[in-house]
Structure formats: C-alpha cells, structure tokens
Amino acid sequence: MKNVVWRLKTIFLCKNVLEKEGALFLNFSCSSRARGGPRWAHIGLKNYEIDELISAKSIAARVESLAKEITSFFSDTEKLIVVGLLRGSFVFIADLARELDLPLEIDFLEASSYGNNMKSSREVRILKDLRGEISGRDVLVVEDIVDTGYTLHHVLGLLKSKKPKRIEACALLDKPSRREINIKSRWVGFEIPDEFVVGYGIDYAQRNRNLSHIGKVRFK
C-alpha cells in the first residue's frame, strides 16, 4: 500500500512539472487533423484549430488567372526561370508552373526568417542558394506569403545583384497591414488580414503544409 501511494505521488509530481513547463503532450484536435497533421501536437505547441479561409477551389481558380497574366507578361521570353522560395511555396509553384504556357526552368532558394516561430526575426538568412545562373535571364520569384516584407526585399535585392534581364515576384498571399518595409509583389493571389495561416504548402512549426486549402490558426 505504501508503495502504491508513493508511486501515485511520483506520477502527480511529474505531471505537475510537465504542465508547468508547458511540455506535456497536448491533444491535437484540429478540425483538418486527418490531412493536416498527426493526432498529437508537438512538445511546446499550443492546442489549436484550423478554420478555412480560402478553399482549394478558389485557390485553383486564382492560380489559373495568375498564370494567364504571367504568361502574357513574359510572352516574349526565351526561357523563364521560376524561383520558388522554400519551403512554403512548394505547392503553389507546382500548380502555377503547370499553368504557365512558357518555356521555363525551375529553381529553388531557401531563405529563413521565421524558424519555428510565429513572428519574423527580420533577419533573413539564405539557407540554400540557386543551382542555376540567372544573369541576363527572365526571373519570376514565387513566394508563399509577404508579411513584414523583409524576406522578399532581401531575396529580390540578392537576385537583382546577379543582373537578371527582368525580375518580378508572385506571392500567393499578402498581408499588407503587416508590412514593415516598402516592397510589392507584382502579382498577388489573395490579400488577407493579419492572421496566422497554414495549408497549401504553408506551415506552423512544420505542420499542416499538406492541407489543400488555406486555413487560419485559432488557439484554444
């Protein structure tokens, strides 16, 4: 009996410590759980739900119209280098590239400003550089979201220094109310309010990229 009481005390003590440190595994009851992520949230992640903001159907229609505009803008190109910013743009670039009626090459660049956080660090680091040359070429930079604007500003500055013939950007989402630096993407899929979003390639701490729609994160 004494042994059982001692064991129970130990279990309660551990539970209290874990809860205090916020390290207890939380039940992950996201409404899009089946496709958006595993059943259990990661250590330290708060419990959240995802509310649909933009449907897969609306995204597909918008991607098609963006591609038409981009195709006509670059209609005289010899070859368009489509540069996807990893990792958030990987779904968008895959859909957009297949709608572009142009000779093109795909390349990727990885820039990081968020890490696993929900706020930009404003310090942009290049984690993976382009493989190909862009000097004298037509370039389209494909970004998932323009938020503070630091990432796109930094990347466009870097790529412009390589002397491309023309360089433009296309962002799936834009949060104009969050802008801290004066930068504009020539093409924007959707302007959205100041919400933290996931899905269609976009993550929250590496989760929910595989949702086919875009949803906003709501903490419970």
Is the Cβ of residue 88 or residue 164 nearer to ligand IMP in the bound state?
Answer: 88
Among 30, 143, 189, 208, binds ligand IMP (CB under 6 A): 143
Which residue(s) pair with 205 in the sheet?
Answer: none
From Mg ion, ligand IMP, none, interface partner of 151 (C-beta below 5 to 8 A by class): ligand IMP
| 90 contacts ligand IMP (rule: CB under 6 A) | no
CA dihedral 23, 124, 62, 168 (to 10 degrees): -170
Q: Which of 144, 147, 174, 203 is catalytic?
A: 147
Residue 104 forms beta bridges with which residues?
80
| Residue 172 per-residue DSSP state | E
150 binds ligand IMP (CB under 6 A): yes
Binding test (CB under 6 A) with ligand IMP, winner from 114, 176, 210, 212? 114
In the complex, minimum distance from the CB of residue 34 to ligand IMP, in angstroms, rounded to a whole number: 21
Among 36, 37, 84, 88, binds Mg ion (CB under 5 A): 88
- Closest listed residue to residue 211, CA positions, set 53, 41, 17, 9: 53
Reduced to 3 states (helix: H, G, I; strand: E, B; else coil), residue 8 is: helix
**Alpha-carbon distances of 160 from 45, 89, 116, 169, rounded to whole Å:** 38, 20, 28, 12
When the beta carbons of 138 and 147 are compared against Mg ion, the nearer one is 147
Q: Is 147 annotated as catalytic?
A: yes
Note the Cα 119 to chain centre separation in Å: 13
Cis peptide bond prior to 87, omega within 30° of 0: yes
Piece of the chain touching ligand IMP by CB under 6 A; list 32-40, 54-62, 99-107, 143-151: 143-151
Query: Which lies closer to ligand IMP via its Cβ, residue 137 or residue 209?
Result: 209
Give which of 151, 62, 153, 67 is closest to 104, Cα–Cα: 67
Cβ-in-10-Å burial (0-12, 13-18, 19+) of 72 comes to: exposed
- Closer Cβ to ligand IMP, 67 or 152, answer by number: 152
Name which of Mg ion, ligand IMP, none residue 112 binds, using a CB cut-off of 5 to 8 Å depending on partner kind: none
Q: Compute the least distance from the CB of residue 54 to Mg ion, in Å.
A: 17
Tell me which of Mg ion, ligand IMP, none is bound by residue 208, counting a contact when its beta carbon lies within the kind-specific cut-off of 5 to 8 angstroms: none
Using the rule CB under 6 A, is 196 a contact of ligand IMP?
Answer: yes
Q: Which residues are catalytic?
A: 147
